[in-house]
Chain A
Amino acid sequence: MATEDARYRQSSQYQLWSFSPTQLAAMREQTNTAARTRIAERLASLPAPSSNLSAPTSTANTPDPDGASTPALPEFLTAPEEALLVTHYTSELMRAGDHAEMSDEIKATAAAFFRRFYVTNSIMTYPPTEMLIVSLFFACKAEGSFVSISEFGKTFGRDHPEDILAGEFLLCQGLRFAIDVKHPFRALRGAIMELSTLPDIEPSRIAAAEHRAREILRFSPLITDAYFHYTPSQIMFAALSLADRSLAERLITQTFHYVAPPPNNSGVDTPISSGPDGAIPLPKKLPLRSNPAEDKSQIIGSHLRDRVLGAIEACRDMLARELPERRDHWTNKAVVKAQINPLRKKLKQCRDPERWNLVELQRARREQAARKADSEDGEPADRAGNGHSNSLAGDAAVFGEALPPKRRKVVEGRKGLDDPFGGPL
């Protein structure tokens, strides 16, 4: 359709990390169920000494539906609960970013990384407190501000660089190696530039709107799912509209300048759906021109404008739920105590015993890879001889669902073979 839009459609943000709300919810649900079954398996096959740690409390929690031989399973988090926890940790992440005095872009990238990672991976599988720091570290690199790992570790009280580095590749895998996150910050500057050229708007008003919009962009889209559902420019317009509604609408009308100014409904919501009532009446208000092609573009333009306004309006609603004033809400002790702590407790019970410790996990993987390289053909025997047979099968479950490595993908013949990043999520 348009060159700019086509260019945006080529970005990894659009191709890999944009979803409709239903898709996103379905994916979260799927991740949750996959994690449940896997963790249940692992807890069941856990050797005695380590199960001692978690078993006493978990037996008290829930009656075991499966069988007498396995220890009782803990109560798992549901998908909405997971989402709530992820949001909580996102706010923690932003607090950590503030603490380390990082730029807005880095914090925003880290938050996007973090949320993306926990779309396809359950918070029960990988520790959010670790991934949060890994995200920040990796976001620094992604945004071109290279800090030394030891310096970075010191800021967050991590003495060993290994603690942070262990999760780095894991994060990359979880991101499907899509490292470029497109932010609305520079877009906001562009919009302000355009607004400043309009003659009849006071600069102080524009400056105030920009200040407020930037404040919103720093928090609201990151703590919501806006980055999944809307494009940066739509997010930017939504934030601008929250800051100064008439300015944003003015800019939109200016942009689709073929279209006559909209009916004066500054208080009333702009029509969200672009149904027949949105598109047909408008052309009648237009001054008629002799050129039919122009008329056509007018109609399509007005149609598109209504759709854009609809998207911005929806995004605005989403952002309005998490205005920057809500920053305190997420760090408020009472709220944390009431909502988050119970979930944290639950999480402690049901986390994945094998994957919780990232350093251990990485070491185990390296050993496994080395072993595999040593005895390529002796693999089945190796698997049988290995004490817990679920280690490889478990990997298949994890990576098969979330990020299938190439070899396994071919063997299983999943759909989406042509996708270099693996099957559809």
Chain B
Amino acid sequence: MSRKAPGGARAAGNGASVLPAISTEDMCLVCKTSRYLNKDMEFLINPECYHSMCSSCVNRLFNDGPNQCPYAGCHRTLRRKGFRSAFFGDLSVEREVDIRRRVAAVFNQAEDDFETLRDYNNYLQMVEDLTFDLVSGGDAQRRAAEATLQQWEAEHKADIERNRKAGKEADEQSRRRLAAERDAARQRRVEALREAEEEKRERVRSREAELDSLAQGEAGSGAQRVQLKRRGQAAAHRAVEAAVSTAVSAADVGRLSIRGLKEKKKAPAPEGRTIRLGAWTLYKLHPGLTHPGVEKYKIDPPHITGGYSFDEYTARAMFEAFAGLGVFIEDEKEVGIGLSAGEVATISAGIAAVGDKMELD
């Protein structure tokens, strides 16, 4: 019976390079039961050879322990435990995904493990080649790739384990962050709802107040003003509240986090930036630097609101004051940049003189 199985099954004998397309999605190729007869029929595969069969066949054949695959020419020994239902309809895809999962578990280095991006890319290329060999290479290629994989696994056991743990941790973290984000979002939504309600109530209240005042025959303008004022107060109050709550939530969640954005470390506070000339400091940008000509702009709204940076101006002025101070055009244009031989001799003589003195001391 099974000898009459389609050619696909025969080819599958030498492994899984050519898989049986499930041409008969509704019929088990082993027992020829069709879905027509059994509506709850379930097809299972074993990642050893990816031959699919119905669950009753699996129970029948493998309940008593390991047995050979019933497909003609397939001599794999299968176990009951290995069977599962396929996620993908196309079994070749199912198989590729399995292989990729396995390779990824072994080759789990992260980009940080490499010195340059180029190295990392080369590594990815190597892994991809290997995967390709495993998935759709010939027999020899597959065997070689398998050997490489195992060798790598054996040699780098510790590394792999470490990376796996790190990956798990990262997953955990991101999950936690997502949860926190969701929480915060929910919080915000609730808050917004509450606020809307508050607003509504407020409006009703003010309206009632207005009507009351009208009923008492007072001037409407006064009531209007009262209402406006109240509304303004409410808004301001809310703003304060919101600021507080965001501060709290910021403290809770850490910071508003955008996925994929690396968290940067805060730059150390700039304090008296210095610009060095060779070995010694030419000038220092200390905070007291200012100029009367600049002072009047510090209270000028167009300059302040425009975001004009007075520190930048100071830095530039200081830079220009000292840039090129040590450039001697006459010498450099005729002789070249740097110290002339005579000067070097002079300097070294000076150094030697100091050195002598120091020895005397």
Residues on A facing B (Cβ under 8 Å)? 1-5, 7-9, 14, 18-23, 182, 184, 186-194, 196-197, 207, 228-234, 236-237, 255-258, 274-276, 279-280, 282-284, 288, 292-293, 295-297, 299-301, 303-304, 307-308, 311
Contact = CB atoms under 8 A, between A and B. Distances in A.
A189 B328 contact: no
The number of chain B residues touching the other chain, given as a range, is 35 or more
Contact of B279 (A14, A187, A297): A297
Contact of A23 (B291, B314, B334): B334
B283 A255 contact: yes
B334 A288 contact: no
A356 to B, nearest CB: 33
Nearest to B318: A190
Nearest to B337: A9
B333 A283 contact: no
A191 B320 CA distance: 9
A18 B329 contact: yes
B279 A4 contact: no
B327 A8 contact: yes
A228 B318 CA distance: 22
Contact of A20 (B294, B333, B346, B350): B333
A365 B354 CA distance: 67
A260 to B, nearest CB: 13
A295 B348 CA distance: 11
Most buried by A among B280, B316, B327: B327
A19 B317 contact: no
B289 A18 contact: no
Nearest to B277: A2
A257 B322 CA distance: 14
B89 interface: no
A296 B351 contact: yes
Interface in B31-46: none
B333 A19 contact: yes
Nearest to A259: B280
Q: Is the interface of A mostly helix, strand, loop or mixed?
A: helix
Contact of A303 (B275, B330, B350, B358): B350
B225 interface: no
B353 A283 contact: yes
A400 to B, nearest CB: 23
A280 B351 CA distance: 9
Interface in B217-252: none
Contacts of B314: 190, 193
A20 B48 CA distance: 85
Contact of A193 (B291, B327, B334): B291
Interface string B247-279: 000000000000000000000000000011111
Given A193-B291, A297-B278, A300-B278, A23 B333 contact: yes
Contacts of B118: none
Contacts of B60: none
B152 to A, nearest CB: 49
Nearest to A3: B275
B291 A196 contact: yes
Nearest to A193: B289
Nearest to B293: A189
A299 B354 contact: yes
A407 B334 CA distance: 30
Contacts of A14: 324, 327, 329
